[in-house]
Amino acid sequence: MRLKHAFIALKGIIKRELWRFLLQRERFIAALVRPLVWLFVFAAGFRSTLGIAIMPPYETYILYEVYITAGLIGMIQLFNGMQSSLSMVYDREMGSMKTLLVSPLPRWFLLTGKLMAGTFVSILQAYVFLLIAWFYDIQAPWLGYLTLFPALVLAGLMLGALGMLLSSFIKQLENFAGVMNFVIFPMFFMSTALYPLWKIKESSELLHTLASYNPFSQAVELLRFALYGQFNLAAFVYTLVAFIVFLLVAVWGYNPSKGMMVRKAGGPS
């Protein structure tokens, strides 16, 4: 694989995904409306539940809204990862995925290129969301907007790889909506996106354990620390390992001679 050819292929994959995203404006708006509703409508209720609303000074309110903001950014990337995998199922049914995978470039490179394109889209959505939140007077430290970028890259790759892994198991486009709901909502609500671990532990030990080992929780904690200009080593390692595992299994799943694609076709001839 020559570097020039790899760069041209990667450029083409990313350009195709960006054009698809720009032509689907409803997808962009829907990705923003969902977390904005949570932020603007429910943030006050969450503050009261945690007992932070009665604690002075005023900066405390802003800090907790930033706390929720990190979880909602994770929501954006989680839904975007699932939407990207939905497009892969569609491409497989239409035949364009087969055309991509039979190219002379390595399969892992092509799938990673798809991941990078989807991650770039989710990062764009996340910063637009932060811009809207900034005008709503929900502002993180200025350094946090810079340190957040690498965390968004890793979290987006991990969640995108999870979606890609799921897409390798799905036979038809019609089945994907049910799988998405089965994965997205448990991952989101059994996480630290809205409540800290210590508050979850007060409610349920089992839920605390599930939230602790939830890859989405670790991705959110990575984003949350980064938004405050800090680095969470444990969350970084956990998210990185989860990304590698999800990607390796997804690459295996898209292998026409060994993975799930064989079982869907009834085995090799």
Least confident of 28-32, 119-123, 245-249, 257-261: 257-261
Residue 5 banded pLDDT, cuts 50, 70, 90: low
**Between 41 and 208, whose confidence is greater?**
208
Residue 155 pLDDT: 95
Give me the helix-helix angle, 59-94 and 142-167, nearest 10°.
Answer: 30
Q: Report the number of distinct structural domains present in the chain.
A: 1
DSSP 50-81: HT-TTSSSTHHHHHHHHHHHHHHHHHHHHHHH
pLDDT on residue 40:
72
pLDDT tops 90 at residue 127: yes
Helix 215-227 and helix 142-167, axial crossing angle in degrees, nearest 10 = 160
* Mean pLDDT calculated for residue range 120-135: 88
Per the structure, the complete domain to which residue 196 belongs is given by 3-265
- The angle subtended at Cα 23 by Cα 85 and Cα 34, nearest 5°, is 60
Q: Give Cα separations from 37 to 135, 205, 253 (angstroms).
A: 15, 29, 36
For position 183, what pLDDT does the model report? 81
Return the pLDDT at 199. Answer: 78
Residue 254 pLDDT > 60:
yes
List pLDDT tens digits, range 19-65.
766 666 666 676 677 777 777 766 555 554 444 433 333 344 445 66
Higher pLDDT, 49 or 119: 119
pLDDT at site 203 = 82
pLDDT digits (tens, 9 = 90+) for 150-164: 999 999 999 999 988
Residues of the chain with pLDDT > 70: what percent? 69
